[in-house]
Amino acid sequence: MNNYLPLIINAALNAGSEILNVYRSEISVEWKADLSPLTEADRRAHSIIETALLTTGIPVLSEEGEAIAFSDRNDWERFWMVDPLDGTRQFISRSGDFTVNIALIEGGRPVLGVIYAPLRGTLYYGSEGTGSFKLEGIRPGMPLDWPVITGSARQLPFRNGRRSYSIVAGQYFSGPETEAFIELKRKQYGKVETTSVGSSLKICLVAEGSADVYPRLAPTMEWDTAAGHAIAKFAGCRVYDHATNAELSYNKENLRNPWFIVERPDFAAAVAS
């Protein structure tokens, strides 16, 4: 799997470069049938990533690709799951919290993931057997090779000395269920800090230890979470169904996720240590 990391990191960086080209121009928006926004940046990023990934001989399932019937993908043991531009609303509003997400799924579980935030110059990646890492100051067009990446990246999670329980939530779709979840944590831990960011960066904050939990009690799709799931999982976090407590799975007939939680190990034990 790690042989694929240089390929998909370069694909993410190249997609990020095209996304920034559109970001710095006038952004025109179309609306898909599900009323989610679509821009030229989504299309360009998808084309770059798909072209790179197809060289592996592994099928690609992308938010912006052609719809693939469940009967055709049901037998896939391994495939790429891609969100070429996660956080399109943040992209349109120019808030900066948008990412490129690429994951490798095996047996319905993510085994490798890369998330790149091009405006921030931040790259997260994680894989089974290796762990998860964060690399900062990485810009599209920089000459990068694998030794440079592995030598500069910091392994997740970080020790940050926080003494308060931290919850990260989305900039959109936060409803009464999320507020009730936050109130429950206040009763459990006392002082609670809350942070709001966009896109898959929420999952990354839990993975790196800047937050303890991300409750997503609102709709998402599998491509929204697959890469972040891998990074969080291999940084020691759980990504699980809010109702059943089971780990999220991928390549379901309906690609919509259930409500889910991304959570670091027990906060009280971490503070005590």
Binding-site residue ranges: 63, 83, 85-88, 224
Nearest to residue 49, comparing CAs of 108, 1, 99?
Answer: 99
What are the residue ranges of helices labelled H in the chain?
5-23, 40-53, 70-73, 88-93, 146-152, 176-189, 201-208, 222-233, 267-272
Annotated binding site for Mg(2+): 63, 83, 85-86, 224
Cis omega (within 30 of 0) for bond into 59:
no
Nearest to residue 158, comparing CAs of 118, 197, 206?
Answer: 206
Position 255: which residue type?
L
Question: 125 - beta bridge partners?
Answer: 114, 133
What's the rounded Cα separation, in Å, for the pair 163 and 172? 27
What would the DSSP string read from start to end of 197-223?
--TTHHHHHHHHTS-SEEEE-S--BHH
Position 185: which residue type?
K
Annotated binding site for substrate: 63, 85-88, 224
What's the rounded Cα separation, in Å, for the pair 218 and 173? 6
Angle between helices 5-23 and 40-53 (to 10 degrees): 160
What's the rounded Cα separation, in Å, for the pair 35 and 20? 24
How would you class 132 by CB atoms within 10 Å of its CB: exposed for 0-12, middle for 13-18, buried for 19 or more? Answer: buried
